[in-house]
Amino acid sequence: MRSTSRSQVRGKEMLPKPKPKEQRQHSATKEAVADIEDLFSDKEIHKIRASLLDWYDHNQRDLPWRRITQTKEIPVKEEEGEGEGERRAYGVWVSEVMLQQTRVQTVIDYYNRWMLKWPTLHHLAQASLEEVNEMWAGLGYYRRARFLLEGARMIVAGGDGFPKIVSSLLKVPGIGDYTAGAIASIAFKEVVPVVDGNVIRVLARLKAISANPKDKVTVKKFWKLAAQLVDPHRPGDFNQSLMELGATLCTPLNPSCSSCPVSGECRALAISKLDKLVLITDYPAKSIKLKQRHEFSAVCVVEISGRQDLIEGDQSNSVFLLVKRPDEGLLAGLWEFPSVMLGKEAALTRRRKEMNCFLKKSFRLDPQRTCSILLREDVGEFTHIFSHIRLKVYVELLIVHLKDDMSDLFSMRDGENTTWKCVDREALSSLGLTSGVRKVYTMVQKFKQNRLSTASAAARKRTNSKKSGSS
């Protein structure tokens, strides 16, 4: 569908009737190109820039990454390439990567903790991947955290300070078009646009663009429109104002058009006023979601006890076995409880068989020979959603007592490629674990508590009946 031209929205009689919703949402790419070839006029650009900047100056949210200034604790060190621009760039970078993961409110906490630990790029460059993963725990997409660390190390090793323009920023691991545009415009005032989901929504509505916003050609055109609008004197503020509008007023489901500073320039609003069948939320078109892949895994929380009476009381003498995931792929380099992929749904017997095989091969943990089982129970299951995978996780608890010394047992294992460690309960609680691993641990803890209270209730009942029998 073509967007409505500027002259058409001026007069009611000149507006074309929009195509039905179905038809709009499945426009061919060719049509989509024509759809947005219609760029902003000079008058529109001038009006939108002025209105948005004025609105932003009075309404911007107070967010920690917007007030990066010199502090007493961390003085600006120009000679180390840590001037205000660099500090700002670092803050924008960290916050933008975090904002790609979750909501602003959640990011604020993570951001503040991150900056307390690594206030500058140089501090971050000295961190270990393990520390970074711990700090990132719960945000998901750990690859992005790893890129932040690798990028910081690369910039510091380069010795030329923070890259200041988009073309140089794009050479840093993990920095793509959007983050490069945000850093360059906000921290170094390069006149470049940014396009994220919020910007796409605002532009799609301003221009009544109904093409699929995920289509590559369409995305390119959104960048062209955003580049037209960016203010040459205040590029960073303008880009933030556009994103801020999308985040606060021009929201996906319930836009606040009556408070919008650019409502006079909004074609979607004009069209929706004339035709009740057309909703503002029809723009941008909903893209069809990719089908998620179903995967299945069995997780075994292996608790190694030094005591036979573990279940009944003190657990301080036990440790948990953690395995490090491979350095590539999903959740690369992160710690988890021993797990095996199952290929398809599997009954308990098969799950245990696969798990036994893994434990025996990797650690010589063999219930027949090297350990005695104090408890082995199926704890439950849950589904963990990744962007493209629905992972069904079966959880079991295995508490064992080793027959040999633990170091002998593990040093003789076959799985030389498996990196592992044993941690006690206290260490486990403070470790930065992925939300999936944390969920497994919580399930197991709840299971043990329930079991304990059932056991104590049964014991009380036995004692009471003994007493009443003897009286």
Q: For this structure, is 96 an active site residue?
A: yes
Shorter beta-carbon distance to ligand SF4: residue 265 or 396: 265
Shorter beta-carbon distance to ligand SF4: residue 81 or 261: 261
List the one residue from 140, 255, 338, 432 that touches ligand SF4 (CB under 6 A).
255
Closest CA to 103 of 213, 247, 245: 247
Question: What is d(CA 202, CA 238) in angstroms, rounded to the nearest whole number?
Answer: 13
CB 108, CB 63: distance < 8 Å: yes
CB 318, CB 306: distance < 8 Å: yes
Least separation in angstroms between CB 253 and ligand SF4? 12
Shorter beta-carbon distance to ligand SF4: residue 263 or 445: 263
* Binding window for ligand SF4 (CB under 6 A); candidates: 83-91, 232-240, 248-256, 408-416: 248-256
Under rule CB under 6 A, residue 41 binds ligand SF4: no
Closest CA to 391 of 356, 345, 336: 345
Shorter beta-carbon distance to ligand SF4: residue 187 or 268: 268
Please list, residue by residue across 131-148, b when 16 or more beta carbons sit within 10 angstroms of its beta carbon and e when fewer do: ebbbbbbebbbbbbbbbb
Under rule CB under 6 A, residue 205 binds ligand SF4: yes
Under rule CB under 6 A, residue 182 binds ligand SF4: no
Under rule CB under 6 A, residue 206 binds ligand SF4: yes
Shorter beta-carbon distance to ligand SF4: residue 236 or 255: 255
Terminal alpha carbon distance of the chain: 89
Under rule CB under 6 A, residue 242 binds ligand SF4: no
Annotated catalytic residue within 86, 96, 190, 303: 96
Tokens of 264: 């006079």
* Binding window for ligand SF4 (CB under 6 A); candidates: 98-106, 148-156, 177-185, 201-209: 201-209
List the one residue from 97, 107, 242, 249 that touches ligand SF4 (CB under 6 A).
249
Closest CA to 256 of 267, 245, 264: 245
Closest CA to 448 of 375, 352, 347: 375
Under rule CB under 6 A, residue 248 binds ligand SF4: no
161: three-class secondary structure by DSSP: coil
Helix (H) or strand (E) holding 390: strand 389-402
Question: What is d(CA 193, CA 184) in angstroms, rounded to the nearest whole number?
Answer: 9
CB 342, CB 351: distance < 8 Å: yes
Under rule CB under 6 A, residue 274 binds ligand SF4: no
Question: What is d(CA 162, CA 90) in angstroms, rounded to the nearest whole number?
Answer: 8
Under rule CB under 6 A, residue 260 binds ligand SF4: yes
The torsion angles phi and psi of 319, rounded to 5 degrees, stand at -130, 160
List the one residue from 8, 100, 168, 263 that touches ligand SF4 (CB under 6 A).
263
Under rule CB under 6 A, residue 202 binds ligand SF4: yes
List the one residue from 34, 125, 227, 257 that touches ligand SF4 (CB under 6 A).
257
Under rule CB under 6 A, residue 250 binds ligand SF4: yes
List the one residue from 127, 129, 219, 280 that touches ligand SF4 (CB under 6 A).
280
Tokens of 174: 């993990």
CB 323, CB 337: distance < 8 Å: yes
Shorter beta-carbon distance to ligand SF4: residue 204 or 399: 204
Under rule CB under 6 A, residue 270 binds ligand SF4: no
Binding site for ligand SF4 (CB under 6 A): 202, 205-206, 249-250, 255-257, 260, 262-263, 266, 268-269, 280
Question: Which residues does the annotation mark as catalytic?
Answer: 96
